[in-house]
A and B are shown apart, each in its own frame.
Chain A
Amino acid sequence: MNQSWKPTATLANIHARAELLHSIRQFFADREVIEVETPLLSNGTVTDVHLAAFSTQFNYAKDGTDKTLYLQTSPEYAMKRLLCAEVGPCYQIGKAFRHEGEGRWHNPEFTMLEWYRPGFDHHRLMDEMDDLLTLILGVSQAQRKSYQQVFAETLGIDPLTVSIESLQQTLCEQHIDVHGNDVLDKDAMLQLLFSYKIEPIIGQEEPCFVYGFPASQAALAKLSQNDRRVADRFEVYFKGIELANGFNELGDAQEQRRRFDNDIEQRKSLGLPVVESDERFLAALECGLPPCAGVALGVDRLLMLKTGANHIDQVISFPVSRA
């Protein structure tokens, strides 16, 4: 008999999800952070070179033209538009979609918790994230290490000054053998070393926050006041899982536009699908984003940690292969 109608998650894990969502909502209610909703289907999308959005056709637009709409890869732009409209501290639990493969930690449709704190910098937001993880997972306080520090401790290199040649050397010494002749760029090599050699080590007992990513991996974070080589961006790792990514949010519309243009140029040179900058988002930034920090956390991964699941399918009722 065909068994593919059945959920891949156990009933216990389906209940654990309900409980987890309740705890998260209570956590924010206690702190007077309001829950918001933004569109899953949007006119604009991200320019990130390494993010691919699902798209669909909308044939009933009021102006009579057929439009491409994108499933959101994260609610970031829309939530920042709300922040520019002075909504104040807010959070959202919702689905995000990424057009990429399945894996132990990946399903193309997943649940994301994203929240923003006007008046916080990324360190204060890390404090709050720490409180949430302590509450949900019952772990002790997280460790905090800079990106530079974790590379120095595990691989003995300085990620900010290291040359392409010595990174290649390090990959070789660490037996990371990349297929093909094209040389990877510096960020890709750093990311491979991080995924293979650092992620499995850090944050084993308690979560580990890594902050101060290279400026070239800033995404939507501000560059650091003290060292322009690094961005005020952090990631949270626990038991080998990348759990969350946060920023001291970039509010400078011109700088944001430059980063989008740069992404779009890179997309063109790589032959990736053409996307346009989200003009509504940029218009909102021009109006003024209150200084704030924000973070996105993978709820399915958090649930994996809470339930001890070793594959994301065990916490999702119907992963894409059964959806």
Chain B
Amino acid sequence: MANYSTNEFKGGLKIMLDGEPCNILENEYVKPGKGQAFNRVKIRKLISGKVLEKTFRSGETVEGADVLDTELAYLYSDGEFYHFMNNETFEQIAADEKAVGENVKWLKENDVCTITLWNGTPITVTPPNFVELEITETDPGLKGDTAGTGGKPATLSTGAVVRVPLFVQTGEVIKVDTRSGEYVSRAQK
């Protein structure tokens, strides 16, 4: 993998840090009046998800990370691995529990997810921003409540629990924002 000089740093560049692939979020060039130049960089570690700030001496080089985002459709879980397929090549790939993490609760069959591969191995699985899931269990709402103030918890087919307005009932399909975990609307039929 290529090395990158700090001059090439910019948002989105993938580099190796402490043996872990990282994504550069922000890069600022710092040059005190009479002193040496630095790059002040905000970085997300792609495996742990941790965001941290690191200072590099300008001109320093760091190893690039072989990281690739691919769009794959979720197929099924065999209890240990989560299987995805490229809808064009039909190539399949399995991600482990660590890569899926919390996002397991948004995985619905046939939904296209973003799988981040490091050296060909999935390290993170990002579900679509919006998913439509069926409510498997929620308390019956109060009659006449249409404003949806307050709300109530609802369990979805994947096991996720979200707050929904009182008028939404078991068996309905709702649209959820996976980034915030919030109810958006009833699904369009």
Determine if B98 is an interface residue (Cβ-Cβ < 8 Å).
no
Determine if A31 is an interface residue (Cβ-Cβ < 8 Å).
no
Structural contact, A219 and B40, CB atoms closer than 8 A: no
> Residue-by-residue, is A217-250 near B (CB-CB < 8 Å gives 1, otherwise 0)?
1010000000000000001000000100100000
Chain B residues in 8 Å Cβ range of A22: none
> Residue-by-residue, is B1-20 near A (CB-CB < 8 Å gives 1, otherwise 0)?
00000110000000001000
Structural contact, A187 and B35, CB atoms closer than 8 A: yes
Structural contact, B34 and A50, CB atoms closer than 8 A: yes
Candidates B34, B55, B58; contact of A176 at CB < 8 Å = B55
The answer to whether A245 and B36 touch (CB under 8 A), given A101-B58, A177-B54, A180-B60, is no
Determine if A121 is an interface residue (Cβ-Cβ < 8 Å).
no
Chain B residues in 8 Å Cβ range of A191: 32, 35-36
Determine if A178 is an interface residue (Cβ-Cβ < 8 Å).
yes
Q: How far is the CA of A219 from the CA of B34 in the complex (A)?
A: 8
Q: How large is the interface on A (under 10, 10 to 19, 20 to 34, 35 or more residues)?
A: 20 to 34
Candidates A101, A104, A178, A245; contact of B34 at CB < 8 Å = A245
Residues of B56-99 whose CB lies within 8 A of A = 56-58, 60, 62
Residues of A86-109 whose CB lies within 8 A of B = 100-104, 106
Structural contact, B36 and A50, CB atoms closer than 8 A: yes
A-B pair count, CB < 8 Å, reads 69
Stretch at the interface among A136-144, A152-160, A192-200, A201-209: A192-200
Q: How far is the CA of A192 from the CA of B55 in the complex (A)?
A: 9
Q: How far is the CA of A303 from the CA of B175 in the complex (A)?
A: 49
The answer to whether A102 and B33 touch (CB under 8 A), given A176-B55, A196-B40, is no
B side interface size, CB within 8 A: 24
Candidates B7, B34, B38; contact of A192 at CB < 8 Å = B38
Minimum CB distance partner of A196 in chain B: B40
Q: How far is the CA of A242 from the CA of B34 in the complex (A)?
A: 11
Chain B residues in 8 Å Cβ range of A274: none
The answer to whether A179 and B29 touch (CB under 8 A), given A48-B34, A50-B37, is no
Structural contact, A179 and B7, CB atoms closer than 8 A: no
Q: How far is the CA of A194 from the CA of B6 in the complex (A)?
A: 21
Chain A residues in 8 Å Cβ range of B6: 101
Candidates A48, A179, A187, A194; contact of B62 at CB < 8 Å = A179
Candidates B28, B52, B57; contact of A104 at CB < 8 Å = B28
Q: How far is the CA of A48 from the CA of B37 in the complex (A)?
A: 13
Structural contact, B55 and A177, CB atoms closer than 8 A: yes
Q: How far is the CA of A219 from the CA of B29 in the complex (A)?
A: 22
Q: How far is the CA of A137 from the CA of B33 in the complex (A)?
A: 22
The answer to whether A242 and B33 touch (CB under 8 A), given A176-B55, A179-B57, A179-B62, is yes
Determine if B53 is an interface residue (Cβ-Cβ < 8 Å).
yes
Determine if A188 is an interface residue (Cβ-Cβ < 8 Å).
yes
Q: How far is the CB of B63 from chain A (nearest CB, A)?
A: 12
Candidates B32, B56, B57; contact of A194 at CB < 8 Å = B32
Chain B residues in 8 Å Cβ range of A175: 53
Interface residues of A (CB under 8 A from B): 48-50, 100-104, 106, 175-180, 187-188, 191-192, 194-196, 217, 219, 235, 242, 245
